Amino acid sequence: MRFEYKKATQALNYFARKNSSHKISKLKVLKLIYLADRFHLRKYGRAITNDNYIAMQFGPVASGVKDIAEQTIFLDKEIKCYAEICLSQVDLHHDIKSRREVDTDVFSETEIEALDVIWERFHKQQGLVDFTHEFPEWKKHESNLNSNMSLEDFFELAPKGVEYCDVPDDILQLNKEHFQESSQLDEIWR
């Protein structure tokens, strides 16, 4: 599925804007976006960013979102220009700062719901790295870091006390099937 760079950029912007300083640590925002993508995928059958996730030392990381946050050389010109309008780097690339209001028009109502839920639930939580290490999709790659993760694995239930997106089993199964069918169609149309 196509990486949604505008949604990825605006999600970074959204979480930065939630702080009164309009800035946020890169590590924290990458964890929040992972949690929002996972929430939306489990509850509605699709991720917000459609990004490629990698199992890294500090947990699951959305590769394209990380490139946008760091404004790396891997970004194509269109994405880089869009990101630079909305975000800047501060503190030797440890923080990102919002440059303008969030363009909420890029999001659906359910995507805004997911961002809001994740902010309310996790913005004050300490130890997000350790928390994200508890999820089965990361644990599957724990011994093989820097490997690609499958979004399909995000449908696996996390341990009790860790799972924050409880969806009835029948809905979760339907959403997983929807995701699988969408992925197959994407492969055909590519």
Q: What is the pLDDT of residues 111-146, one digit of tens each?
A: 999 999 999 999 999 999 999 999 999 999 999 999
Domain ranges of the chain: 5-138+157-189
Using the structure block, give the residue that is written with the tokens 């959305």: 62
Number of helices followed by number of strands (H, E) in the chain: 8, 6
**pLDDT tens readout for residues 19-67:** 999 999 999 999 999 999 999 999 999 999 999 999 999 999 999 999 9
Q: Is the model more confident about 94 or about 108?
A: 108
What percent of the chain is modeled with pLDDT above 70? 98
Q: How confident is the model over 92-119, as a mean pLDDT?
A: 95
Of the candidates 48, 54, 13, 29, which has an alpha carbon nearest to the alpha carbon of residue 128? 29
Q: CB–CB of 38/166 below 8 Å?
A: no
Looking only at the bridges linking them, the beta strands covering 23-25 and 53-56 are: unpaired
C-alpha to C-alpha distance for 123 and 120, rounded to whole angstroms: 6
State how far the Cα of 159 lies from the Cα of 136, in Å rounded to an integer.
Answer: 8
pTM: 0.95
pLDDT score of 83 more than 80? yes
Q: Give the model's confidence band at 186: pLDDT under 50 very low, under 70 low, under 90 confident, else very high.
A: confident
| Contact (CB, 8 A) for 96 and 88 | yes
Q: Is residue 93 predicted with pLDDT exceeding 90?
A: no
pLDDT on residue 41: 98
Q: Which residues contact 184 (CB under 8 A, 6 or more apart)?
A: none
> In the prediction, which pLDDT does 126 show?
94
Phi, psi (deg, nearest 5) at residue 188: -65, -45
Q: What pLDDT does 190 receive?
A: 63
Q: Is the pLDDT of residue 91 over 80?
A: no
